[in-house]
Amino acid sequence: MGISRAGSSLLQAFGDRVRQRRLENGLSQEKLAELSGLHRTYIGHVERGEVNLALINILRIAKSLSIDASELVEGLADELDDPRIL
């Protein structure tokens, strides 16, 4: 079973937040990958909304951005138009 359209939109919104915070911190994708212990291509997939992240990876990315994970996910559920995703 693939990711629904609502799920895809949610992942893209999350990825946009990661990219925004990364750029605000003056980090390249490579540097964020190094800090988080994740692969550079994985960070690119996250920012484009192409991957459904595990909680541990959300926490790693947030820590590497020096923010609380809630800043990356807060309010995203409100953007859903498909309640089945929750």
Q: Number of structural domains, the chain?
A: 1
Residue 11 lies in a domain: yes
Burial of 2 (0-12, 13-18, 19+ CB in 10 A): exposed
Please report the pLDDT score of residue 43 as a whole number: 99
Could you read off the pLDDT of 34-65 as tens digits, one per residue? 999 999 999 999 999 999 999 999 999 999 99
16 lies in which domain range?
5-73
Q: Which two tokens stand for residue 71?
A: 């800043």
pTM of the model: 0.86
H or E stretch including 10?
Answer: helix 5-24
CA-CA-CA-CA torsion for 53, 73, 12, 61, nearest 10 degrees?
Answer: -50
Is residue 40 assigned to a domain? yes
H and E: helices and strands count for the chain: 5, 0
